[in-house]
Amino acid sequence: MGAYCNEEVRMFPVCDFASSRDLRLSKNVRDNVHGTIYLDPLALKFLDTEQFQRLRDLKQLGMAYMVYPGAVHTRFEHSLGVYWIAGEAVQKLKSYQGLELGIDQFDIQTVKLAGLLHDIGHGPFSHLFEREFLPRVLKGSKWSHEQMSVKMVDHIVDAHHIDIDSEMIKRVKEMILASSEFALPKGTKEKHFLYDIVANGQNGIDVDKFDYIARDSRACGLGCNFDFQRLLEKMRVLGDEICYPAKEYLTVQKLFLTRADLYRTVYTHPKVKAIELMIADALFKANDYLEISSSVQDPSEYWKLDDTILKTIETAPIQELQEARDLILRIRRRNLYQFCNEYAVPKEEMEHFKDVTAGDIVCSQTNSSFTLKEEDIAVSNVRIDLTRGRQNPLQSINFFKDYESEEKFSIPDSRISHLLPTSFQDMIVRVYSKKPELVAAVSDAFENFQLKTYGIKTQVHPTPEKKKRCL
């Protein structure tokens, strides 16, 4: 086994694991969120591969550590956490309803593996690679890390000759895709509730969120008062769907509100986004020479791609990488793209909103001592919601009255506290100047764009005069 923290060997009775008549060898690690995580033998076969160990070199929050220094945790830790909570969730369902639901050891092992492998296809720098870089170099492509995770699972099984039931692998891959557009329709799955544990495309409550909300909050030094253990203890399956006690609707709401708060304060922090935009530009400028995007369809090449590509660009004495290298040097020296301003899209305009581009800002410039070009401007269109876009996520969740009840129901808005939000999505447009001396010109053009689009300036604060001065 690889180098694990506080590694121990422990013997478990056969009822805990997938196989038959002997005792199973397992190992454990100490996790700073969940305590001791026990790794079963089948999980170890996947864990101890170069493809899975690559997750140690993928920071969970990408470049957020440049603003939140503690945010250096990795996809490796997160994947172990999701594996563990997924096992906890399905074991609790088995304890409470095992006979009526028909949950067996095969189901438990499948859900745990799906949790372990759900992020195996992630690219460098968290979602930046998929959302900011690839759309620029693979125009029209629908590449997703979930699809790559599925390809990577097959690659690991084949490359390492892992002896595993073909039906189990099939279900693991379906569970990984369960929250994506490639998920199978509900009626095509046996025990559908199992597919909502790791990645829930129905209502957004899943153990993936349970782990990253707790882990990210801890790493960034933020308080987290969402108690996922409470939901694990209270959940129940009704009509092939995981439901929750009606009295816990505020706990469920807290899950979504905490996630939204993390998006606002960490994931889309203005300086984090500035750095991500610079990294995306650096990768774009390096792509022709390094052929970064050429590996995204082939798992045998893709697994070699991780966050260390930044150091490759930074230290390679190659002229073709000079522009990318200069951008990384600017990040190191904190000479970032300058945040000019932002505005929230008016609520009544959200339905028909189209992403703002650098071209939109350039077309809105007036008389200025500088003539702006699209390459002088970076725009970030930020969407923050409660997992269901502009819809109330509680409407997609079914509850039950008490444990004697067999009826499930949704909770209408009329029964929800009036202190909860009436709008469930924010759209924020942020504009950055790539050159400090253009801050004033970009800011003025941005204000003119708002006047042209909405007839008013929708930003809350004017751009500080000190930013408008040449730096």
Q: Which amino acid would we find at residue 178?
A: A
The per-residue pLDDT for 223 is 84
In this predicted structure, the answer to whether residue 319 has a pLDDT above a threshold of 70 is yes
Enumerate the active-site residues: 145
The per-residue pLDDT for 14 is 34
Query: What does pTM read for this prediction?
Result: 0.90
Tokens of 341: 């301003």
**How far, in Å, CA of 289 to CA of 296, rounded?**
16
Q: Which amino acid would we find at residue 17?
A: F
Tokens of 439: 């801050």
- Give percent above pLDDT 70 in the chain: 87
Angle of helix 166-176 versus helix 145-159 axis, rounded to 10:
160
Gyration radius (Cα) of the chain, Å: 24
Least confident segment among 115-124, 300-309, 452-461:
452-461
- The mean pLDDT value for 369-387 works out to 90
**How far, in Å, CA of 242 to CA of 238, rounded?**
6
Q: Which amino acid would we find at residue 81?
A: G
At 120, phi and psi to the nearest 5?
-65, -20
In this predicted structure, the answer to whether residue 47 has a pLDDT above a threshold of 50 is yes
The per-residue pLDDT for 10 is 38
Among residues 89, 86, 76, 9, the alpha carbon closest in space to that of 41 is found at 9
**How far, in Å, CA of 211 to CA of 231, rounded?**
13
Q: Which domains does the chain have, with CATH numbers?
A: 8-267 (1.10.3210.10), 338-386+424-471 (3.30.70.2760)
Higher pLDDT, 396 or 207: 207
In this predicted structure, the answer to whether residue 7 has a pLDDT above a threshold of 80 is no
Least confident segment among 18-22, 28-32, 186-190, 194-198:
18-22
User: CA–CA distance from 21 to each of 94, 297, 343 (Å)?
Assistant: 21, 41, 64
The beta-strand segments (E) located in 13-125 are 24-31, 35-39
